Amino acid sequence: MSAYVYLIASLPMLHFGTKPPFTFAKFLELCQGLISGDDMALLESSHNLGTTAHRSPGSTTLRRWQSFEKALRNEVVKVRAHSMHVDPAPYLAPDGSSELALTHVALAAYRNPALLEAEKFLDETRWQRLEELASGHYFDMDFLVIYAQKLLILERWERIHSADKEKLLKETLQKST
**How far apart are alpha carbons 114 and 109 in whole angstroms?**
9
In this model, does residue 76 exceed pLDDT 90?
Answer: yes
Enter the pTM of the model: 0.87
The predicted-structure confidence for 36-70, as pLDDT tens digits, reads as follows 999 999 999 988 765 444 454 578 999 999 999 99
pLDDT of residue 50: 53
Q: What are the start-end ranges of the H helices in the chain?
A: 2-10, 24-31, 37-45, 60-83, 100-111, 115-134, 141-162, 165-176
* Cβ contacts of 106 within 8 Å, gap of 6 or more: 72, 75, 76, 78, 79
The predicted-structure confidence for 83-142, as pLDDT tens digits, reads as follows 999 999 999 988 766 677 899 999 999 999 999 999 999 999 999 999 999 999 999 999
**How far apart are alpha carbons 14 and 21 in whole angstroms?**
8
